[in-house]
Amino acid sequence: MSRYQMAFLGVGLAVVAALSAPAPSLRAQAQFAPIQTHALNGGVYWIEGGVGSNAGVVIGKDGVIVIDAKQTPESGKAVMAEVAKLTPKPVTHVIITHSNLDHVDGLPGFPKGLTIIAQENCKQQMEHPRNNPQNIDLSGYIPSKTVAKKESMTIDGVRFVLLHFAPAHTSGDLIIYLPDQKIAFTGDITVMRRPYPLIHLEDEGSSAGWIESMKGIVALNADTFVPGHDGTQTKAELQQRLANTAARREKIKELVAQGKSLPEIKKEFGEAVAPPAGGGPGFPTFTDVVYKELSKT
Ligand SMILES: [Zn+2]
């Protein structure tokens, strides 16, 4: 197992859990990592650590807007504690980038009665038992405001543009763009832990929609992009990711058109044909996803 695979296994557990109910041993491995808060500009921060995704913090005039809630109530509470170190203002809103449990199951660590905002498909997915293998009680945390495609709003004096270009990582992805700070929170669309993007077909994600969404993201007037996992990204990195992924998708299309089978295509890319040894649910690769999409039509 390469270092990359080890790191990926360690950090991708939440995503495994989102794919299907994880084995108890996998769930037990989701460690509470040290919490670290990073300052960006204009009252914007991002928090890594705990269990699950990054969280964003935007300090407004009278209150605080949080982006994503991490994976466990304990981690949600840790975000609240970090906010309290930054400002005495109360958290009033949580904006969710998508429905995967590593972004929403920390919500019960936040006070009830907040305004929870998400893309409309994300709300539906949050209410689906398939997305709640941890049996977390999300009553009181289901989004009270939903966005279909694009909505501009001012919350606590801060301008937000909430964007959904197309189904990508899931069909409920929402990008949180702060035009004054030139920062965008991109959820898991831009996560780069794998050579090519992770698309959740079970949550109606789409590789073609991923490309459309990335085109929309790189067209934003932003300098800093905060993904759902790992550190901030530049526009150049995202442009490179988009170009590589679009080229790989074209190559898969070409091979499918030549009548190549999935194992043949994987072999051509030097990708393991069989799922990794050691059990546990495998991650479908980008090749798996695109092949499945193309063979459906
Ligand atoms: Zn995630």
pLDDT tens, 55-106? Answer: 999 999 999 999 999 999 999 999 999 999 999 999 999 999 999 999 999 9
Please list the residues that pair with 160 across neighbouring strands.
Answer: 153
Quote the ligand 1 centre to 258 CA distance (angstroms).
Answer: 35
Residue pLDDT, tens place only, 137-184: 999 999 999 999 999 999 999 999 999 999 999 999 999 999 999 999
Q: How far is the CA of 15 from the centre of ligand 1 (A)?
A: 6
SS3 for 238-251 is: HHHHHHHHHHHHHH
293 vs 297: CA distance, rounded Å: 7
Q: What separation in Å is there between the alpha carbon of 261 and the centre of ligand 1? A: 30
pLDDT in tens, 105-140: 999 999 999 999 999 999 999 988 887 888 889 999
| 30, 14 Cβ separation under 8 angstroms | yes
> For residue 172, what are the contacts with CB-CB under 8 A and spacing of at least 6?
98, 99, 118, 119, 120, 121, 122, 123, 124, 125, 164, 203
What is the whole-number distance in angstroms between the Cα of residue 227 and the centre of ligand 1?
9
Pairing of strands 183-187, 175-178: antiparallel
Kindly give, in sequence order, each residue whose CB lies less than 8 Å from that of residue 260, ignoring residues fewer than 6 positions away.
268
| CATH annotation of 3-296 | 3.60.15.10
Centre of ligand 1 from the C-alpha of residue 282, in Å: 16
CA–centroid distance, 106 to ligand 1, in Å, is 12
255 Cα–ligand 1 center, Å: 30
| Residues having C-beta closer than 5 Å to ion ligand 1 | 53, 100, 102, 188, 228
Pairing state of beta strands 145-147 and 224-227? unpaired
Which residue, among 64, 139, 136, has the nearest Cα to 106 in the 3D structure? 136
Say how many Å lie between the CA of residue 156 and the centre of ligand 1: 27
